[in-house]
Amino acid sequence: MFPGQFEYHRATSIKDALDLLKQFGDDAKLLGGGHSLIPMMKLRLAQPAHLIDVTKIAELCAIGESNGKIAIGAAATHDTVANSSLVRAKLGLLAEAAAAIGDVQVRNRGTIGGSLTHADPAADYPAAALALEAEIRLDHEGGSRTVKAADFFLDLMTTAVQPGELLTQVSCAPIPSGTGYAYLKHPHPASGFAMVGAAAIVTLDRNGKFATVRVAVTGLGPKAFRANAVEAALAGKAADAATITAAAAKSADGIDALADIHASADYRAELARVYVRRAIQAAVARAKA
């Protein structure tokens, strides 16, 4: 299958990309790794007349540390994120999620900005971004704004990104030492997408009780979400197996679980309970290590 005709533009800077976006308006789409957009174009679900490639903008490919946060350029590939020594050392959860994406070809082409903007309900990064309380920078002509991950994912493949905006950076506070984390998923056997994925970040107090718990789930509903009922059931409680299992049983509470040819809603809900439990247990083990 071939996509319809389009004109390719390689943006050389953020300003250049924003100028091109302004020039072509609704006829243009930004191009990251193309691993979601190009298949959609082949299916004629998207038919942009202009593609603006942002993957050669040096600023968007960089990963660094500034103002106490780890900043990841939107065009950093999944492989770059997974193997960045800075991300591995200070944002291990994000590195773990990136390493779990698809296969080596997908990780070498796909970008964090493209993945977050595409907001596939089965994508891995959204759960990690929510658990890490990431901040997402969106640039537009003449300025920028920062959106918290909690406010970024609006619905199925729908985000806070507005026409004329370019996702430029994802930033997160480093995970403090003594904090446990884990990202675990049940991968689709063909694509690797998360049938369900769970991200957990925990700290324990000196009595072995949960001091901090953040849990986020992807793949279950139309968008990734923070599992508030699970977090509430763990707060201040002993980090033992019975408590974690009882809390994880709430993983699908209030969620309209997706059903498709790959899995029924009930199966996905059960996967969520299992993978949330496993992710919390793995995070607790790391917090104790």
Ligand X SMILES: Cc1cc2nc3c(=O)[nH]c(=O)nc-3n(C[C@H](O)[C@H](O)[C@H](O)COP(=O)(O)OP(=O)(O)OC[C@H]3O[C@@H](n4cnc5c(N)ncnc54)[C@H](O)[C@@H]3O)c2cc1C
Nearer to ligand X, 52 or 287 (CB): 52
Q: Does 118 interact with ligand X (rule: CB under 6 A)? A: yes
As beta bridge partners, residue 111 has 77
Percent helix, percent strand, percent coil in the chain, to nearest 5: 35, 25, 35
Residue 32 binds ligand X, judged by CB under 6 A: yes
First to last CA, the chain: 51
Q: Is residue 57 a contact residue for ligand X (CB under 6 A)?
A: no
- Contact between 180 and ligand X (CB under 6 A)? no
Q: Is 102 left (phi over 0), alpha (psi -120 to 50) or beta?
A: left
Least distance to ligand X, CB of residue 28, Å: 9
Contact between 36 and 118 (Cβ < 8 Å): yes
Of 117 and 179, nearer to ligand X (C-beta) is 117
Cβ-in-10-Å burial (0-12, 13-18, 19+) of 157 comes to middle
Single residue of 96, 124, 135, 231 touching ligand X by CB under 6 A: 124
- Let me know: does 31 contact 54? Beta carbons within 8 Å: yes
Task: Tally the C-alpha atoms within 13 A of residue 5's C-alpha that lie toward its C-beta.
Answer: 0
Q: Which of 152, 193, 210, 225 binds ligand X (CB under 6 A)?
A: 193
Q: By CB under 6 A, is residue 34 in contact with ligand X?
A: yes
Residue type, 289: A
Minimum Å gap between C-beta 45 and ligand X is 11
Query: What is the closest distance, in whole angstroms, from the C-beta atom of residue 40 to ligand X in the complex?
Result: 8
Q: Is 114 in the site for ligand X (CB under 6 A)?
A: yes
Binder to ligand X among 80, 84, 115, 203 (CB under 6 A)?
115
Rounded to the nearest whole angstrom, what is the least distance from the CB of residue 64 to ligand X in the complex? Answer: 17
- Please tell me whether residue 171 binds ligand X under the rule CB under 6 A: no
Q: Is 132 in the site for ligand X (CB under 6 A)?
A: no
Classify 255 as helix, strand or coil: coil
Examine residue 36 and tell whether it contacts ligand X (CB under 6 A): yes
In the complex with ligand X, the residue whose CB is nearer, 3 or 234, is 3
- Name the minimum Å distance from CB 274 to ligand X: 18
- Pick between residue 75 and residue 233 the one whose CB is nearest to ligand X: 75
Residue 12 beta carbon to ligand X: minimum distance, rounded to whole angstroms: 15
How far is residue 54's CA from residue 52's CA, in Å, rounded to a whole number? 6
Q: What is the side-by-side strand order in the sheet with 7-10?
A: 7-10, 50-53, 28-31
Q: Applying CB under 6 A, which part among 5-13, 62-70, 111-119, 279-287 lies near ligand X? A: 111-119
Whole-angstrom Cα distance, residue 22 to residue 16? 10
Radius of gyration of the chain (CA): 19
Which residue ranges make up the site for ligand X (CB under 6 A)? 29-37, 54, 74, 101-102, 106, 110-111, 113-115, 117-118, 120, 123-125, 161, 166-167, 191-193
